[in-house]
Amino acid sequence: MKINVLLAVSMLFSGSMAVAAASAESNGTSSLVAALTPASPTRSGWKLVWSDEFDVEGLPDPTKWGYDTDRNKQGWYNNELQYYAKDRLENASVQGGFLTITTRRESLTTAADYGGQLYTSARLTTRDKPSATWTYGFMEVRAKLPCSLGTWPAIWMLGTNGIWPDDGEIDIMEQKGTSADDKTKVSATIHTKAYNHANGTVGVAPVGVRTIADACTQFHNYQLTWTTDKVMVGVDDAEYFSYAKPEYAGYAKWPFDDSQYLILNIALGGFMGGEVPKNFVSDQMVVDYVRVYQK
């Protein structure tokens, strides 16, 4: 069991008050994680337009995050095995400056939309939240991923127009769960009407893969740079995937002039999660912050 200690210290910073929060995490290795959160995060050339530093304890801020539960009854896409809970601390909670999304082996058999699932999890989205859909920008999510086989964590975006894949999908971070090697890699891609895995006749989108050996034990910054003619994905300021707008591209190949919303989730099983081990009990994705910048 991890013990989190939150130390809040007020400091005087060039005439304005800033809060430095140091979170000491004792998990047997005596690791100390100290985070100095600036009053307003900055990135050269960009303006911060939306963020969640996860400084308010309890359920995720309802003014910023909602829950995707649409497919619980009939089952989720891609043969995924989870039930996505809503407003449930066991699956999504904020403490000590971090959002934790937890997937667990349990069955919520009395839930009205229970669909026979053996696992719970949460899928948070900014869809329908004020000022929380964007066209172009720099999106950065600092996160630590689940290590368990069978887990498929994702940080991604979908078009607000609501038709998949026509309105576009941007996968900023996905991690497979079929082998120990999978847990040392992350991937990024896009989907459009012309480029998606469900479309055998037109094309499949390119996929970028990056080795992050400690992705499930350390925090890394997962980043999207989205401009009028390019979608670029990187980790810790190192780009490893890009999709440029094809010349004369129509909406089928470039739906990325319209707005998208953010999604954070852990899926279980399915095409990318693989088989869930018999001894699986629970695992987590921990998120330090989500920041969105625009020009």
* Site of interaction with Ca ion (CB under 5 A): 53-54, 97, 288-289
Rounded to a whole number of angstroms, the minimum distance from the CB of residue 151 to Ca ion is: 22
Nearer to Ca ion by C-beta: 268 or 285?
285
Note the maximum CA span of the chain.
Answer: 61
In the bound state with Ca ion, the residue whose beta carbon lies nearer, of 22 and 111, is 22
For Ca ion, give the closer residue by CB, 36 or 198.
36
Is 90 known to be catalytic? no
Q: Closest separation between CB of residue 54 and Ca ion, Å? A: 5
Q: How far is CA 173 from the centre of its chain?
A: 7
Task: State the minimum distance, in angstroms, from the CB of residue 98 to Ca ion.
Answer: 6
Residue number closest to Ca ion, CB atom: 97
Q: Which residue, 222 or 289, has its beta carbon nearer to Ca ion?
A: 289
Q: What is the residue whose two structure tokens read 């999660």?
A: 273
Site of tokens 């034990």 = 217
Exactly one of 90, 169, 239, 275 is catalytic; name it.
169
Q: Which is nearer to Ca ion, 53 or 174 (CB)?
A: 53
6-34 in b/e form (b: 16+ CB < 10 A) is eeeeeeeeeeeeebebbbeeeeeeeeebe
Nearer to Ca ion by Cβ, of 94 and 231: the residue is: 94
Q: How far is residue 71's CA from residue 19's CA, in Å, rounded to a whole number?
A: 40
Least gap, CB of 2 to Ca ion (angstroms): 16
Min separation Cβ 38 and Ca ion, Å: 11
Could you tell me which of 291, 285, 241, 233 has the C-alpha nearest to residue 264?
285
Distances (CA, A) of 182 to 51, 100, 155, 179, 192: 29, 21, 16, 5, 25
The distance in angstroms from the start CA to the end CA of the chain is 43
Those residues with Cβ within 8 angstroms of residue 290's Cβ, 6 or more apart along the chain or in another chain: 51, 52, 139, 140, 141, 262, 264
Within 10 angstroms of residue 242's Cβ, the number of other Cβ atoms is: 15
Catalytic residue among 174, 239, 247, 275: 174
Catalytic, 239? Answer no
Element (H, E) at 291: strand 282-294
Least gap, CB of 37 to Ca ion (angstroms): 6
248 Cβ contact partners less than 8 Å away, ≥ 6 residues apart:
none
Could you list the active site residues?
A: 169, 174
